[in-house]
Amino acid sequence: MLPNISRSQVKDSHRFSAFGQLLLIGIALAYLFVILLIPAAAVFYHAFHKGIGEFLVAISTREFIHAVQLTLIIAAIAVPVNTFFGLCAAWVIARNQFRGRTLLMSIIDLPFAISPVVAGLMIVLLYGRSGWFASWLNSINFKIVFALPGMVLATAFVTLPFVAREVIPVLEEMGTEQEEAARTLGASDWEVFWRVTLPNIRWGLLYGVLLTNARAMGEFGAVSVVSGNIAGLTQTLPLFVEQAYKNYQSQAAFAAAALLALLAVVTLILKEILERRTKYRKVDSGLPIN
Amino acid sequence: MSIVVDNISKQFGSFKALDRVSLEVREGTLVALLGPSGSGKSTLLRVIAGLESPDVGTILIDGRNTTHLNVRKRNVGFVFQHYALFKHLTVRQNVAFGLEIRKHPRRQVKDRVEELLDLVHLRGLGDRYPSQLSGGQRQRVALARSLATRPQVLLLDEPFGALDSKVRKELRAWLRHLHEEVRVTSIIVTHDQEEAMEVADEIVVMNQGRIEQVGTPTQIYDHPATPFVMSFIGPVNVLPNTARLFHDNGLEPLNEEVFVRPHDIHVQTSANGVKATAIVQRIIHLGGEIQVALALTDGQTILANFSREQFDKLKLTYGQQVFVKPKAAKSFPLPKSLL
């Protein structure tokens, strides 16, 4: 009798957990629908509900085009700089044992913990009109706050952790043996990096770059504080959206928002593709051992 | 090419990995560094390769001082325990790596790679990725890759340590055969004494960062220089000199510790002048040999090994009383051999 009882119990608990599972999935989906999907859909609806013509008019104004250009310029500077820095930091942390290693890791994470507005404020306090470096910057006639350099600095600050965060675990998982093998085969440090290390960490690195780029183009708070938000001069796409909306130019605001949202969707698709590749590779390398 | 290690020391923090180690490896020989983990054998290999730099001492390869030469210029082949194959490259690209770094002409690289794939019996698998190979195949690729640039010396760090025992035995025999063919001066690190005995011309036994003994497998086994070598190479009974095994038989060893190999224990079923007695405690069949655990009257348990023939003659059973004496024994410091 005993096995019968236990079997039916297993069945019951299984049925219950299946029901629970469905319930959880339902709640999660409903939540996503309310929080994410409806707002996103609304943006696209508002951008296009007066027809594609109105949309095209909205995105061909001088201010809009300038905002797009500025956003691209800032990303084009901040992303490569942070990619380079992130790679260096990841290498130092993953390949060396030294005192203050965990401290360094926490410092790299700092931009995640600090509110972007505060980050922007720090830049103003350092380089602004009454900041620490104000007189020196004045003497060489170089403007940081309310100009491109400050916006790049703010963007670089908030996007600093992404690459290092993604690359450190990949480097650690890779280990040092392949690099040592390459060196015994005659490779220089540079050749080891290009031919062995980089191909091993490429997916992690690319993922980090993607996240950096998405954040760089979408950053509002920090950039808003340091830019002064002057239309046609220091206005990025997110700043443009806000101002247009406040000025009741909802068509322009939603058109720009749709463009930003589209960017996010493209990033997500790319990320998904990358994750599939890495997953495939992991399963692949876990095949026969002996 | 000969390798000379002269007075090398290496410390990691407070841990002495190598303590004034000197060693000479003659050209064309295959030498095994044998010892327990932490004995410094891998560190010594990495120092010779240039993957670690020694605190003091010199390394000469073919008479040339290479102590401070960069790894990439030493021209050593190095084989790692976990293969260290380039995961993103095919077998063929892995083998070609060293040649391409050296900018050999493409035609020449292609021929050399095919030649090596033949040598390691992987001809048909050149386009596979490492993840598509078995452990034994991966290690053969690693070996081919390290031999491609015709290194002066070949260094193998526990090359078969990650493989199952059957594959390990096959590869051992194959490595020995390969060495006869290629004749490159080689050092293999292992903690497996059977592996060292089977593969190497000469064995270097290491313990706690020092070399305990250097010799041919026979020398090491038959004439161990220290208690450590005696107990590390092959099974051994370690007894105090006061044991009744010696006393009852009228033997008085001078040194406190006495080492007796299991096959040097003589057992007979009737007294006939042998006075020490023991009870048969356990009988273990090891295939070709039979091992018997004997409880002596003073509470000591010793192991004795017999050939099948000897065992069948004795007809031992559990709980039976037998008469035992050592045929040979050793104690240290040498040469205070007692019998």
A164 in the same domain as A34: no
Nearest CA in chain B to A177: B84
pLDDT over 70 percentage in chain A: 90
Predicted confidence (pLDDT) at residue A181 exceeds the cutoff of 70: yes
As a whole number of angstroms, the distance between CA B116 and CA B97 comes to 13
Residue A2 lies in a domain: no
Position B332 scores a pLDDT of: 79
- Under CATH, to which class is B237-338 assigned? mainly beta
User: With contact defined as beta carbons under 8 Å apart, do B238 and B261 qualify?
Assistant: no
Q: Which among A180-184, A230-234, B179-183 has the top mean pLDDT?
A: A180-184
For tokens 């005696």, the residue is B230
Q: Kindly list the residues from chain B whose CB atom is less than 8 angstroms away from the CB atom of residue A180.
A: 51, 71, 78, 80, 84
- For the residues A236-250, what does the mean pLDDT come to? 89
- Tell me the one-letter amino acid at A206: L
Residue A135 lies in a domain: yes
Q: What is the pairing mode between strands B30-34 and B185-190?
A: parallel
A28 in the same domain as A114: no
Residue A44 lies in a domain: yes
As a whole number of angstroms, the distance between CA A236 and CA A247 comes to 16
Position B197 scores a pLDDT of: 92
> Tens digits of per-residue pLDDT, B38-84?
899 999 999 999 999 999 999 999 989 999 999 998 889 999 999 99
Residue A290 lies in a domain: no
Smallest Cα distance from B78 to chain A, Å: 7
A126-135 long-range Cβ contacts below 8 angstroms, 24+ apart: A127/A153
CB contact under 8 A, B134 and A290: yes
By residue range, what is the domain housing residue A32?
9-49
DSSP state of B333: S
A21 in the same domain as A61: no
Confidence of residue A50 (pLDDT cuts 50, 70, 90): confident
A58 in the same domain as A39: no
Q: Kindly list the residues from chain A whose CB atom is less than 8 angstroms away from the CB atom of residue B74.
A: 184
Predicted confidence (pLDDT) at residue B339 exceeds the cutoff of 50: no
CB atoms within 10 A of CB B176: 14
Strand order in the sheet with B301-307: B265-268, B321-326, B277-286, B289-296, B301-307
- The domain spans of chain B are 3-232, 237-338
Confidence of residue A56 (pLDDT cuts 50, 70, 90): confident
Those residues whose C-beta lies under 8 Å from the C-beta of residue A141, and which sit 6 or more positions away, are: none
Comparing C-alpha atoms, which of B4, B153, B212 is closest to residue A184? B153
Question: What kind and span of H or E run contains B190?
Answer: strand B185-190
Smallest Cα distance from B133 to chain A, Å: 7
Predicted confidence (pLDDT) at residue A283 exceeds the cutoff of 90: no
Check if B14 contacts A (Cβ < 8 Å).
no
Confidence of residue A74 (pLDDT cuts 50, 70, 90): very high
- Phi-psi category of residue B13: left, alpha or beta, with phi > 0 → left and psi -120 to 50 → alpha: left
Residues 44-73 of chain B with CB under 8 A from chain A are 49-51, 71-73
Predicted confidence (pLDDT) at residue B335 exceeds the cutoff of 50: no
Q: What is the pTM of this model?
A: 0.80
CB contact under 8 A, A191 and B101: yes
Instruction: List residues of chain A with CB under 8 Å from any CB of chain B.
Output: 177-178, 180-188, 191, 195-196, 199-200, 284-290
Confidence of residue A286 (pLDDT cuts 50, 70, 90): very low
Confidence of residue A6 (pLDDT cuts 50, 70, 90): very low
Residue A177 lies in a domain: yes
Q: What is B3-232's CATH topology? A: Rossmann fold (3.40.50)
Confidence of residue A284 (pLDDT cuts 50, 70, 90): very low
Nearest CA in chain B to A183: B72
Confidence of residue B5 (pLDDT cuts 50, 70, 90): very high
Residue A194 lies in a domain: yes
Residue A96 lies in a domain: yes
The question of ipTM being above 0.90 is answered as no
CB contact under 8 A, A185 and B146: yes
Smallest Cα distance from B130 to chain A, Å: 8
User: With contact defined as beta carbons under 8 Å apart, do A97 and A172 qualify?
Assistant: no
Name the 3-class secondary structure at B215: strand
Predicted confidence (pLDDT) at residue B213 exceeds the cutoff of 70: yes
Please give the residue that has the higher pLDDT: either A135 or B196. Answer: B196
Predicted confidence (pLDDT) at residue B214 exceeds the cutoff of 70: yes
Confidence of residue B322 (pLDDT cuts 50, 70, 90): very high
Confidence of residue B86 (pLDDT cuts 50, 70, 90): very high
As a whole number of angstroms, the distance between CA B80 and CA B72 comes to 16
DSSP-assigned letters across all residues of B238-292 = EEETT-HHHHTTT---SSSEEEE-GGGEEEESS-TT---EEEEEEEEEETTEEEE
A230 in the same domain as A98: yes
A57 in the same domain as A38: no
Tokens linked to A286: 């876990």
> Tens digits of per-residue pLDDT, A97-147?
888 899 999 999 999 999 999 999 999 999 888 888 888 888 888 888 888
Q: Kindly list the residues from chain B whose CB atom is less than 8 angstroms away from the CB atom of residue A181.
A: 78, 80, 84-86, 142, 145
Of A181, A286, A290, the CB nearest to B80: A181
